[in-house]
Each structure stands twice: as structure tokens, then as C-alpha cells.
Amino acid sequence: MAVDFDAGEVRLLLADLDGDPLLREAYPLPAALDDEAGWAWEVGGRISTAFAREGERRSALGIAVACPGSVDAVTGRITHSTGREGWTGLAVVDALRRHIDAPIVALNRMHAALRGEAEHGAAQGVMDAIYLSLRGTPDAAVMASGRIVGGATGSAGALPALPILDPAVTLEGDVLERYAALIAEVAAFLDPGVIILDGVEGHISPLVPALQELLNDIAKGPRVLISTLGNNAALLGAMHAASIVAYEGERTA
């Protein structure tokens, strides 16, 4: 089971061990859902219901949850939420384990999205990549030598210097130059094979050529690509993580 959630919605993907999808659903999250108990009841209930559809009781061999913000990979806790302020400190793994007895892993949504692009999208066959999402709070993930870089506090990829963009406004002028310059500086240091951008058309369309032109001048090599998975990237990346922890569940089932 893969779970991906942000401030407004939770998305579920259930698949068998061969990766064949069995169920895919999305639900809006209630406005009042800032405490851990309420979040666990809502999300945990959706997960449990998904395993009992159509009269067939299935068991969970592994669950991966893609979370908005920095995640402590050891404890499965959101250390800084980019979704809702009240989710900072949310113990995702422990909260769900109170309802579901299965191996569960929590990961940053951007890390999951980059893993999804590496498995099924624009980063296939690439060992070094940067993934950048402009949806809501600008956030990024980095892959080096085929491994996602988490950082000392799980915050690698955070971009506090970039302003949040209005989805209805085209990216242009000084703000466009600011975005391109910062990303180009990061790329010049990390030397990725590709830079993958995700966001609304009005932001991505002007940023791709502007960034590629700047990179050609200061850091030749990286290709700037548009995400091929879009908002599905994190869910598919979480499924990849779930398939890994599923082996632990399979051994103990």
C-alpha cells in the first residue's frame, strides 16, 4: 500500500507483490485534522477500509507513506511540515501502527516523487538527479549515485529562499530569474544528469528554457526536463518504498 498526502488530500494505491494495481483512490482531508489522533483515525481508517473492499479481506505486507515536509527516517516522524502547521511532530509510523499491524515506513513527499521519477518517469536510467516541485511551498529532492540524499536532519532539498508562487500567475521577470539562478547554483555544485521540474503550466513553461539557457553558460551537462508523472510521482515512489518493506511483512506473515 502506498499513501501520499498533502494539506488537502490523501491518495491511496494498493497493489499486489507483482506491482499490479488493485485499487486507487483519493479523498479530501477534513479541515479540522491537526492532531495526531484525528489524522491517524482518518488516514488509518482509509487504509484499513481499502484492504477490506468487495468482501475480500486482504493483509498488508508493507505500507509506505509520503509526507509533506521533512521526515525523520528512523522514527517515522514529520520534523517540519510543509502541509499543515499542526502536522509538525506528527508520529506517522507510530500513529498508524496503533491501528494496523504491518511494516510501515514514512518518507518525504519529494524524496518519494524523485524515486517515482527514477523508477517510472523522467529520471529512469539516471544516477544523479534533482527533482523540484513548485506546487505550494517550493521543495526539492536530490539523488546522488542512485541514492536519495536525506541530509543530517532529513531536510535536504528544502528551498526556503524561494517564494511561494500563485498558481494563477505566470512566472516571469525578477522572480523567474531568481528561481533559475538558485537552481543553477545548486546544479553547478551537485552536477546532476537531469533536473526535473513539476508544477503548473504557467510556472514550468517559462522556467525550463530559462534554466536550461543559464545552465548551458555556467554548468554545461544537466538536462532540464518536465516531470512525466506530475502529481502522481510521490504516490508511485511510495509504492516502490512499500514494495521494499513488504518483504519484511512477507517473511513474518
Per-residue model confidence (pLDDT) at position 55: 64
Query: What number is the average pLDDT over the span 41-59?
Result: 82
**Residue 65's beta-bridge partner residues?**
3, 106
Per-residue model confidence (pLDDT) at position 171: 96
What CATH architecture is 126-227?
2-Layer Sandwich (3.30)
User: In the chain, where do the E strands start and end?
Assistant: 2-5, 9-15, 21-28, 63-67, 69-72, 77-81, 104-108, 129-133, 139-144, 147-148, 194-198, 223-226
The ranges assigned to domains in the chain are 2-110+232-252, 126-227
DSSP 8-state secondary structure symbol assigned to residue 158:
B
Question: Tens of pLDDT along 108-154?
Answer: 999 999 999 999 999 999 999 999 999 988 999 999 999 999 888 87
CATH assignment, 2-110+232-252: 3.30.420.40
Specify the range with the lowest mean pLDDT, choosing from 46-60, 75-89, 178-192, 209-223: 46-60
- Measured at the CA of 196, the angle between CA 243 and CA 77, to 5 degrees, comes to 45
Number of other residues whose CB lies within 10 A of the CB of residue 25? 13
- Measured at the CA of 50, the angle between CA 44 and CA 54, to 5 degrees, comes to 145
Per-residue model confidence (pLDDT) at position 249: 52
Do 2-110+232-252 and 126-227 show the same overall fold? Answer: yes
**Residue 26's beta-bridge partner residues?**
11
Question: In terms of Cα–Cα distance, which of 109, 99, 101, 104 is closest to 42?
Answer: 99
**Residue 158's beta-bridge partner residues?**
139
Specify the range with the lowest mean pLDDT, choosing from 18-32, 54-68, 95-109: 54-68
Give the 3-state secondary structure of residue 27: strand
Share of the chain above pLDDT 70, in %: 96
Please give the Cα distance from 215 to 65 (Å, whole number).
34
- Do 99 and 74 touch, CB atoms closer than 8 A? no
Measured CA distances, 64 to 19, 33, 102, 253 (Å): 14, 20, 10, 17
Query: What number is the average pLDDT over the span 62-87?
Result: 93
Per-residue model confidence (pLDDT) at position 233: 97
